[in-house]
């Protein structure tokens, strides 16, 4: 849907035309491929803005803000570097792709192996089994013993550079469909 159509639709919604055409949807959760938090409707003179940040490590953070109802142009101008994902009568979902690892990864992220030798990012050491993101299965027989041991214990990841280095270094060891 083009930005112009979204703006026209939002202005229509702001002036109450939507309520004449359909029921009030202010208490249903926003649908997406991943479940989002249930957003409580803002006051009559407010609109709920859900800011969704997607990090390269697969983590998604959400922030809920209530903004004064105003023209869609003013709201979008305030969030000019965000993409509109969903637009409803009393809420807007905006998304931003962050070209960095998540704060969770920076504080407690480890790269390691799951039980089936899948390269994964963990919240904490791999023994805790709290996977944030999985990549590909590794042929650990081809992987050097030193790297196997490091990955079984978990390697602390605190930067985008180390995250990318480990993923790229281990790609050649990934199992192809013909191997499995």
Q: How many domains does the chain have?
A: 2
Residue 27 has pLDDT above 80, yes or no: no
- Say if residue 73 is exposed, middle or buried (CB neighbours under 10 Å; 0-12, 13-18, 19+): exposed
State residue 140's pLDDT score: 86
Which has more pLDDT, 90 or 52? 52
- Residue 43 pLDDT: 58
Mean pLDDT across 118-143: 88
In a domain, 33, yes or no: yes
pLDDT given for residue 178 in this prediction: 53
Q: Of the candidates 98, 113, 134, which is a domain's last residue?
A: 98
Helical (H) or strand (E) element with 111: strand 109-113
124 Rama sector, left if φ>0, alpha if ψ -120 to 50, beta otherwise: left
- CA 81 – CA 110 distance, rounded (Å): 30
Q: Is residue 111 domain-shared with residue 87, that is, in the same domain?
A: no
pTM of the predicted model, to two decimals?
0.66
Asked whether residue 110 is domain-assigned, the answer is yes
Query: 35 by DSSP, 3-state: which?
Result: coil
Among residues of the chain, what percentage have pLDDT more than 70? 74
State how far the alpha carbon of 24 is from the alpha carbons of 7, 27, 74, 105, 164, in Å: 20, 8, 24, 39, 45
pLDDT of residue 71: 75
CATH number at residue 44: 3.10.20.420
Q: Which two tokens stand for residue 9?
A: 């639709």
pLDDT at residue 60, rounded to an integer: 93
Tens digits of per-residue pLDDT, 36-62?
444 455 557 888 999 999 999 888 999
Domain limits at 159? Answer: 103-173
């Amino acid at each position: 849907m083009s930005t112009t159509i979204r703006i026209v639709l939002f202005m229509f919604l702001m002036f109450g035309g939507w309520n004449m055409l359909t029921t009030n949807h202010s208490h249903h959760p926003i649908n997406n491929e991943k479940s989002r938090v249930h957003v409580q409707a803002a006051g009559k003179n407010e609109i709920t803005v859900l800011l969704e940040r997607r990090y390269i490590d697969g983590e998604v953070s959400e922030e809920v803000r209530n903004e004064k109802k105003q023209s869609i142009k003013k709201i979008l101008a305030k969030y000019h570097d965000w993409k509109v994902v969903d637009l409803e009568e009393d809420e807007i979902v905006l998304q931003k792709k962050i070209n960095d690892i998540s704060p969770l990864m920076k504080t407690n992220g480890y790269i390691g192996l799951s039980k089936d030798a899948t390269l994964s990012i963990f919240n904490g050491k791999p023994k805790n089994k709290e996977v944030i993101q999985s990549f590909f299965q590794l042929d650990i027989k081809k992987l050097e013993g030193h790297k196997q041991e490091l990955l079984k214990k978990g390697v602390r990841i605190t930067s985008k550079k180390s995250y990318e280095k480990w993923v790229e270094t281990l790609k050649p060891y990934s199992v192809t469909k013909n191997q499995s």
